[in-house]
Amino acid sequence: MKKIIVPVDFSDQSSYALEVAASLAKKHNSEIIILHMLELNSVMISSEGIPQEQVVFLLKLTEKRLKEFLDKPFLKDITVTPIIKHYKVFSEVNEVAEDHKADLIVMGSHGVDGLEEIFIGSNTERVVRNAKIPVLIIKEQIKDFDVQSIVYASNFEPEGVKAFHKVKAFADLLKATVNYVYVNTPGDNFLSTEDTYTRIAEFISTANAAVEVEIYNDYTVEKGILNYSNTTNADLIAMATHGRKGLSHFFMGSIGEDIANHASVPVVTFKI
């Protein structure tokens, strides 16, 4: 883990994410790239928009505020590279990650509920949807990010093999154990015990892995993951996400993004 990106907006949640990134950076000798996106657009900074001197003033003001925000004891002895982007375009987080060959995005989140979640979503959700590298979502302050137990929930279909290996590699890096779980729900997606074990066995064979998977019954997949994580005292939930966009996302949703919004423990997502 050589480079970690932390998008910041000067909120408490940004500070929480930064503290977790610092904890990881110290353990793995990583560089932290701080990314702040201004609420500007191409019209505002064009010749017909706000005067250029005001744009320059805003940039200088933001640089000063960012410098003050990064004046934190836990960042001592860590290489920190700040980047300021003019626009708030969440796909740019992935572009910065690719340009700098980053291994992980660590992001703070408030979480959202109800109509706001349906029609607006959260900044974190947008980053998860666009990111090609793992996204670690932090909601509360964690002084020492020491993960011992990870819950990885999956439907154990063949398309998830690549994400499965990514989760295992991430757990090995953190020296954490993984509890693998399949959440069985009533309705159209219900599987008999025999069918469930057959699917899991075929997946494990395809993945060439030797792991045990627990079957957990609940009313919805999301509730099952959250409840199972509580019963196992998980420090982290790992999820694979399709990163669906547009109408596909609106009507079908993404369990990974839902868990990222609603879980109280940190969540890390891996793109399928």
Pick 56 or 164 by higher pLDDT. Answer: 164
Query: Tens digit of pLDDT for each residue in 201-221?
Result: 999 999 999 999 999 999 988
- At residue 247, does pLDDT exceed 60? no
| In the predicted structure, residue 122 carries a pLDDT above the cut 80 | no
Q: What is the pLDDT of residue 115?
A: 41
Are 22 and 113 members of one domain? yes
* Same domain? 127 vs 228: no
Left if phi > 0, otherwise alpha if psi is -120 to 50, otherwise beta: which for 73?
alpha
Instruction: Identify whether residues 4 and 133 lie together within a single domain.
Output: yes
Residue 87's alpha-carbon distances to 5, 40, 59, 81, 230, in angstroms, are 17, 5, 12, 19, 39
Q: What is the DSSP string of 195-212?
A: HHHHHHHHHHHHHT----
Cα–Cα nearest to 196, from 178, 180, 209? 180
Q: Which residue has the higher pLDDT, 131 or 40?
A: 131
pLDDT at 133 over 60: yes
Residue range 123-152: mean pLDDT, rounded? 88
Give the pairing type, strands 177-184 and 3-7. unpaired
pLDDT class of 250 with cuts at 50, 70, 90? very low
Backbone angles phi, psi at 107, to 5 degrees: -140, 140
| Whether residues 181 and 124 fall in one domain | no
- Residue 46 — pLDDT band, cuts 50, 70, 90? low
Q: Residue 200: which residues within 8 A CB-CB, separation 6 or more?
A: 156, 182, 213
Same domain, 191 and 132: no
Asked if the model's pLDDT at residue 80 lies above 90, the reply is yes
What pLDDT does residue 23 have?
96
Percent over 70 (pLDDT), the chain: 83
Across the strands, what pairs with 33? 5, 81
> pLDDT at residue 65 above 50?
yes
Q: List the domain range (segments joined by +) for residue 254.
A: 147-272
Distance CA 62, CA 192 (A): 57
Tell me the CA distances in angstroms from 268 to 107, 127, 236, one per residue in order: 10, 12, 7
Looking at the structure, do residues 235 and 211 belong to the same domain, yes or no? yes
Query: Minimum mean pLDDT among 99-103, 128-132, 242-246: which range?
Result: 242-246
pLDDT of residue 129: 78
How many CA atoms lie within 13 Å of 48's alpha carbon, on the beta-carbon side? 3
10 and 131 both lie in a single domain: yes
How many structural domains is the chain composed of?
A: 2
Predicted local distance difference test score (pLDDT) of residue 162: 92
Same domain, 163 and 45: no
What value does the CA radius of gyration of the chain take, rounded to a whole number of Å?
20
Q: Say how far apart CA 219 and CA 241 lie, in whole Å.
A: 21
Do residues 234 and 184 both lie within one domain? yes
Do 90 and 121 share a structural domain? Answer: yes
Last residue of a domain, one of 97, 114, 144: 144
Looking at per-residue pLDDT, the higher value among 162 and 94 belongs to 162
Mean pLDDT of 70-91: 86
Indicate if the pLDDT at residue 249 is higher than 50: no
> Tokens for 90?
């969440």
Q: Which of 117, 144, 171 is the last residue of a domain?
A: 144
Confidence check: pLDDT of 28 > 70: yes
Copy the structure tokens of residue 92.
């740019």
Whichever domain contains 35, its CATH number is 3.40.50.620
* Pair (125, 187) in one structural domain: no
pLDDT at position 58? 79
- How confident is the model over 117-133, as a mean pLDDT? 67
For residues 28 and 173, is the Cβ–Cβ distance under 8 A?
yes
Confidence of residue 85 (pLDDT cuts 50, 70, 90): confident
Q: What is the mean pLDDT of residues 74-95?
A: 84
Residues 129 and 171 in one domain: no
Q: Is the pLDDT of residue 119 over 50?
A: no
Instruction: From 144, 177, 204, give the residue that closes a domain.
Output: 144
